[in-house]
Chain A
Amino acid sequence: MAEQARMKAYYEHRAGHRALPDSASSAVTNEWLAQAEAALANEEPALPSNGSSSFSVIQEFNIWRSNPELAESVAAIKALTAVIRRSEAATMMGLEKELKIASDALKAWDETSISLSAGCDLFMRYVTRTSALEYEDIEAGKARLIERGERFGDISLKARKTIAMIGQDFIRDGCTILIHGFSRVVLSILKLAAANKKQFSVICTEGRPDSTGVEMAKEMVELDVPVTLIIDSAVAYTMQSVDMLLIGADGVVESGGIINMIGTYQAAMIARSMNKPVYVAAESYKFARMYPLDQKDMSPSPRNVYFQKSLPSAVQVECSARDYTPPQYLTLLFTDLGVLTPSAVSDELIQLYL
């Protein structure tokens, strides 16, 4: 039953995190929550058994994540920082071990979240390096790690700002931008461009099943940017009038490809086939040590798909929430490390982890 409660908490947070505002959609959320629980009931989560510490770190993580301004990986790092703060380890080695356990727990809690695991990996990498620098004083080492962890939120915000600065250069007057999915980074680029009085218009895909496009469209209206909402299947239809495809990413993988909301792959393919540039905006802490070769290489992250007509129970529903877009469909990535070509991504990852 603890299992059940955990699941419920997870999905509730997930729903909260998506921040669907009106009651109608939250009703839907509750409805599919039950379904999701049922779907996952027989799946055994690979959770390490040292319950108490893992529970606390996950709780911590969820508290941070409820802040809509914070990305998932930032929340993860904040949670890990809390672990350090609470740690009673006497040596750096001990601290490192403790963190490792916590981070594994976090990662295991939501295997599907790329940014969560990317954040954990990044922080762990930093911890390892810091201890390698031989801080004799454990307290000083801890203080230092905590300080970095605390500041990571700022770094994340700064990263978003940097990306906005870089990205808005690519938006020119009179262009039409196709957006798939809701991304805070993409939004910050568009906000900055609008603030700079660039005249552009936006086409949003609906983004089933979470209707993320509706969210984006609302934001655009607030920015006073002309916006058109299309259903996901109209991407090819509208591509002719589009000047660029701008998307966020859940994670950027070693190949230089991205993992993002379902539909990104097809949108990028269509854009590429019509010679429209595909730009990805992603903070560098979303770079993940993964190398998926095809869609099935990712752990599935099911999402309830709601159909208007009731389905016969024999019909299977494909409910993956993400897909993998290979690098050859991407033109450039806007990151806080600068504008990168997809092939530069693996360089960055190799530099960090080799």
Chain B
Amino acid sequence: MAVKKGGKAVDVADDETPVPLQAILLADSFAQKFRPITLERPKVLLPLINIPMIDYTLEWLASAGVEEVFVFCCAHAKQITDYLGNSSWQTQPNFKVVPIESHDCVSAGEALRLIDERNVVRGDFILVSGDTVSNMSLKEVLQEHKERRKSDKLAVMTIVVKRSHASPVTHQTRLGNDELLLVIDPLTKELLHYDDGLLNNPNKARQVAVDRSLYLNKPSICLCTDLQDCYIDICSPEVLLLFTDNFDYQHLRRDFVKGILSDEISGNKIFTYELHGEYASRIDNLRSYDSVSKDIIHRWTYPIVPDIRFAGNNVGLKIERCNVYRENGVMLPRSARIGPSSVLGQGTSVDENCVISNSVIGRNCVIGRNVTIEGSYLWDNVTIHDNVTIQSAVICDGCVVRAGARVEPGTVLSFHVVIGQNFSVPSYSKISLIAQPTEEDSSDEELEYVEATSVTTESPQKLLEGEQQLTDITGSSPQMERNPPTVAWKESEVGPSGAGFKWFMRDESQEEEWRYSVAPIPAEKIEEMRLREEQAGVDDFDQDAGAVAEEEEEELDSVKKKRDFEREAEETFRRLFLDGVPEANVILEVKALRLGFNVEGSDCAAACFKSIINLALEEPFTKDSELFIIAKRLFSKWKAILRNYLTTEDDQVEVLLKFEEICSEPAGKAFAPIFCPVLRVLYDQELIFEDAILSWASEKQDAEEGDKIFLRQCEAFIKWLEEASEEDDDDDDDDDA
């Protein structure tokens, strides 16, 4: 089959490219972000501004010169192949859409292995998913990829990235993706590191570990957190082989990209291509569904916009003021206010006094009087009765919202759900006619497909699909005939005479529901996040945040631990010094901390020392001599407790190093001129012994010039000590003798 098609494609291909440009389109996201909607219809067929998503992707590929697209369908494969079979893509010249069906693939990796088996891909190909909206021209990126391949056979893949700032508060891009860290060689654009897990624990300070080997041979590397992965990959045929060879690769990014980057033996490389002035986004979750819809309405995706016809969009809407798109023949009463950035589909009727803003209304919807719709997505054949308020919701085909009901932000009403009169649907509800499967697949969130085949969901689904088609044609209210009387919808979930089951989110995700819903992030959530961020920001300030980035991971952990300990211990000591907490209690507490953080005694000494220094700095002084007097007084006052921690030479050296560190910091600068006198005090108070000072001095001997300021300052003192110790030695010798 493929050969025959290939032959044909060559006939019509451009004269310059003998091999037709091919693309693999994954029509299955292998994820569950759109559930429960995706139980009934595959994600790529969900309407985006009234046109199935897959049409946007195909239109872009076709206009960018792709000649053959392999559409890989898995979940609901039949629906997709049926759709494609009846679509205008079949008749388009120089463009071939070849569906590849599978029923047991559970990941992108498996899909690619299957395609590799079929042996249909003959050259460089473009790998995208069926939910990509873009208007980028592929010419340049393909050119770059080919050039690179000529000189470097190991450059197997080029991924397209686009500049996009994540919100500083939620660490989430506008598309609802987590903040992404890419390490890129700015000269070659080679991707060195890919990290999308920055957000894993929002409570922790955000830190990154980069392997030193990454930058050893590079003049510079670039750490970018302002890039967004467009999930558009230009791949060489080797990519398929790599998937076949590494049969444990499942996820394109988590497994494949990371795998390639960490595999130094084979040396395969991935490069990046940054988009400028063109648009590319992938609809991964409901938030990106909202954002991309708005981008389309605002015409970032020109010429793929609702008022220009393209395959799948053969109606052609008219654009009016304020980005309102209206199908010819949509009648509006004078009193209806259609606000900015809205779309009204064919055959939709809107009654008096409706207010619609920032919303997309599908085809053949009926909207009653005094209805307010804001920031919402109504698909086809939706019926909204009078006095309904809908905010930031997704309402699928055939839903009915009865009079006076309210739909709160973030709600998803799946196909043919009915909301009863005057019922208020709480925020972030998900309601479907299909009951939530009782036992969740605990393996992972991955698989749309596994669920779909499990017995619990399949039978109602089949039932629905059949009837859905039927009701789509007749257009009569569906749920009445459909629902066997035995099914009891709960009035508490859908209101009086409503229809649908409420879905409850799994515990972990429930809290985070707001992150990925269509509703804008509520102000209080942002405030909450900001407070948390500020907290973290204060912590970061103490530490040298800039230096953190390029340290090795294990080291990093201990440094961090130490720092935390230090802070805690300092606090404890302060309480002793200022609030007069009994000494014994403090010692006990510090001991507990020490065990808790698993640090050494020397750290306790340093912490104690630092709190005394801080104490000294808090007292008023004008001259160095005054500060010296204060310090001297404090050290003599608290020498007992400090001595507790200075039992070994190491502890003492540690304190010295700490002292040096404090003096070189801006906060402790005042101590720099009196470093030597203070050291003298410590020596005199028998807190630090001469051995410790000498070993510190010898350790410092080899340091850089800048690090030896304090050593210089103490030169006389050390010399004196050395002489003294020699005398001691002599004395000892004498004694021995």
B334–A226 touching, CB < 8 Å: yes
A197–B331 touching, CB < 8 Å: yes
Instruction: Please provide the chain A residues from 165 to 197 with a CB less than 8 Å away from any CB of chain B in the complex.
Output: 173, 197
Query: Given the complex, which residues of B lie within 8 Å of A199, measured CB to CB?
Result: 332, 334
A33 to B320, CA, bound (A): 53
A199 to B320, CA, bound (A): 14
Query: Given the complex, which residues of A lie within 8 Å of B331, measured CB to CB?
Result: 197
Query: Given the complex, which residues of B lie within 8 Å of A226, measured CB to CB?
Result: 334
Instruction: Please provide the chain B residues from 317 to 360 with a CB less than 8 Å away from any CB of chain A in the complex.
Output: 320, 331-332, 334
A25-62 Cβ-contact flags toward B at 8 Å (1 or 0): 00000000000000000000000000000000000000
Query: Given the complex, which residues of B lie within 8 Å of A173, measured CB to CB?
Result: 320
A199 to B331, CA, bound (A): 10
Query: Given the complex, which residues of A lie within 8 Å of B320, measured CB to CB?
Result: 173
Q: How far is the CB of A177 from chain B (nearest CB, A)?
A: 15
Most A Cβ at <10 Å: residue of B320, B331, B332, B334: B334
Count of chain B residues with a beta carbon within 8 Å of a chain A beta carbon: 4
A271-293 Cβ-contact flags toward B at 8 Å (1 or 0): 00000000000000000000000
Residue of chain B at shortest CB distance from A224:
B334
Query: Given the complex, which residues of B lie within 8 Å of A197, measured CB to CB?
Result: 331
Q: How far is the CB of A262 from chain B (nearest CB, A)?
A: 33
Q: How far is the CB of A225 from chain B (nearest CB, A)?
A: 9
Residue of chain A at shortest CB distance from B336:
A199
A101 to B334, CA, bound (A): 55
A173 to B332, CA, bound (A): 10
A199 to B333, CA, bound (A): 8
A173 to B331, CA, bound (A): 11
Q: How far is the CB of B606 from chain A (nearest CB, A)?
A: 75
A130 to B334, CA, bound (A): 53
The B interface, classified by DSSP as helix, strand, loop or mixed, is: loop
Q: How far is the CB of A33 from chain B (nearest CB, A)?
A: 42
A226 to B335, CA, bound (A): 12
Residue of chain A at shortest CB distance from B321:
A174
Instruction: Please provide the chain A residues from 182 to 224 with a CB less than 8 Å away from any CB of chain B in the complex.
Output: 197, 199
Residue of chain A at shortest CB distance from B334:
A199
A199 to B334, CA, bound (A): 7
A48 to B31, CA, bound (A): 97
Query: Given the complex, which residues of A lie within 8 Å of B332, measured CB to CB?
Result: 199
A197 to B334, CA, bound (A): 10
A184 to B321, CA, bound (A): 33
Q: How far is the CB of A309 from chain B (nearest CB, A)?
A: 41
A158-169 Cβ-contact flags toward B at 8 Å (1 or 0): 000000000000
Q: How far is the CB of B26 from chain A (nearest CB, A)?
A: 43
A199 to B332, CA, bound (A): 9
Residue of chain A at shortest CB distance from B331:
A197
A173 to B334, CA, bound (A): 10
A173 to B320, CA, bound (A): 10
B675-711 Cβ-contact flags toward A at 8 Å (1 or 0): 0000000000000000000000000000000000000
Residue of chain A at shortest CB distance from B332:
A199
A197 to B330, CA, bound (A): 9
Q: How far is the CB of B643 from chain A (nearest CB, A)?
A: 87
Q: How far is the CB of B347 from chain A (nearest CB, A)?
A: 14
A248-273 Cβ-contact flags toward B at 8 Å (1 or 0): 00000000000000000000000000
Query: Given the complex, which residues of A lie within 8 Å of B334, measured CB to CB?
Result: 199, 226
Q: How far is the CB of A179 from chain B (nearest CB, A)?
A: 19
A197 to B336, CA, bound (A): 14
Residue of chain B at shortest CB distance from A226:
B334
Q: How far is the CB of A195 from chain B (nearest CB, A)?
A: 12
Q: How far is the CB of A255 from chain B (nearest CB, A)?
A: 38
A197 to B331, CA, bound (A): 7
A194 to B334, CA, bound (A): 12
A197 to B320, CA, bound (A): 16
A173 to B333, CA, bound (A): 11
A226 to B334, CA, bound (A): 10
A190 to B465, CA, bound (A): 48
B435-450 Cβ-contact flags toward A at 8 Å (1 or 0): 0000000000000000
Residue of chain A at shortest CB distance from B329:
A197
A226 to B333, CA, bound (A): 12
A197 to B326, CA, bound (A): 14
Q: How far is the CB of A271 from chain B (nearest CB, A)?
A: 23
Q: How far is the CB of A221 from chain B (nearest CB, A)?
A: 14
A323 to B320, CA, bound (A): 39
Q: How far is the CB of A174 from chain B (nearest CB, A)?
A: 8
Q: How far is the CB of A228 from chain B (nearest CB, A)?
A: 14
Q: How far is the CB of B329 from chain A (nearest CB, A)?
A: 9
A226 to B320, CA, bound (A): 22
A318 to B331, CA, bound (A): 48
B261-281 Cβ-contact flags toward A at 8 Å (1 or 0): 000000000000000000000
Q: How far is the CB of B305 from chain A (nearest CB, A)?
A: 21
Q: How far is the CB of B461 from chain A (nearest CB, A)?
A: 41
Residue of chain B at shortest CB distance from A197:
B331
Q: How far is the CB of A175 from chain B (nearest CB, A)?
A: 12
Q: How far is the CB of B94 from chain A (nearest CB, A)?
A: 38
A170 to B334, CA, bound (A): 19
A199 to B338, CA, bound (A): 14
A197 to B349, CA, bound (A): 13
Q: How far is the CB of B336 from chain A (nearest CB, A)?
A: 10
Q: How far is the CB of B250 from chain A (nearest CB, A)?
A: 53
Residue of chain B at shortest CB distance from A199:
B334
A226 to B331, CA, bound (A): 17
B611-646 Cβ-contact flags toward A at 8 Å (1 or 0): 000000000000000000000000000000000000
Q: How far is the CB of A313 from chain B (nearest CB, A)?
A: 51
A260 to B334, CA, bound (A): 33
A267 to B17, CA, bound (A): 67
Residue of chain A at shortest CB distance from B333:
A199
Residue of chain B at shortest CB distance from A173:
B320
Q: How far is the CB of A150 from chain B (nearest CB, A)?
A: 39
Q: How far is the CB of B95 from chain A (nearest CB, A)?
A: 37
Q: How far is the CB of A165 from chain B (nearest CB, A)?
A: 17
Residue of chain A at shortest CB distance from B326:
A173
Q: How far is the CB of B60 from chain A (nearest CB, A)?
A: 33
A197 to B329, CA, bound (A): 9
Instruction: Please provide the chain B residues from 285 to 315 with a CB less than 8 Å away from any CB of chain A in the complex.
Output: none
A199 to B330, CA, bound (A): 12
Residue of chain A at shortest CB distance from B320:
A173
Residue of chain B at shortest CB distance from A225:
B334
Q: How far is the CB of B172 from chain A (nearest CB, A)?
A: 40
Residue of chain B at shortest CB distance from A200:
B334
A309 to B171, CA, bound (A): 79
Q: How far is the CB of A202 from chain B (nearest CB, A)?
A: 13
Q: How far is the CB of B318 from chain A (nearest CB, A)?
A: 10
Q: How far is the CB of A171 from chain B (nearest CB, A)?
A: 14
Q: How far is the CB of B353 from chain A (nearest CB, A)?
A: 15
Q: How far is the CB of A113 from chain B (nearest CB, A)?
A: 39
Q: How far is the CB of B339 from chain A (nearest CB, A)?
A: 15
A257 to B186, CA, bound (A): 72
A173 to B324, CA, bound (A): 13
Q: How far is the CB of A264 from chain B (nearest CB, A)?
A: 29
Residue of chain B at shortest CB distance from A201:
B334
Q: How far is the CB of A144 from chain B (nearest CB, A)?
A: 45
Residue of chain A at shortest CB distance from B330:
A197
Instruction: Please provide the chain B residues from 454 to 504 with a CB less than 8 Å away from any CB of chain A in the complex.
Output: none
A345 to B308, CA, bound (A): 38
Q: How far is the CB of B332 from chain A (nearest CB, A)?
A: 7
Q: How far is the CB of B338 from chain A (nearest CB, A)?
A: 11
A226 to B332, CA, bound (A): 15
Q: How far is the CB of B585 from chain A (nearest CB, A)?
A: 79
Q: How far is the CB of B653 from chain A (nearest CB, A)?
A: 83
Instruction: Please provide the chain A residues from 298 to 322 with a CB less than 8 Å away from any CB of chain B in the complex.
Output: none
Would you mind naming 5 contact pairs between A and B with Cβ atoms under 8 Å apart?
A173-B320, A197-B331, A199-B332, A199-B334, A226-B334
Q: Pick the 5 closest A-B CB pairs, nearest first.
A: A197-B331, A199-B334, A199-B332, A226-B334, A173-B320
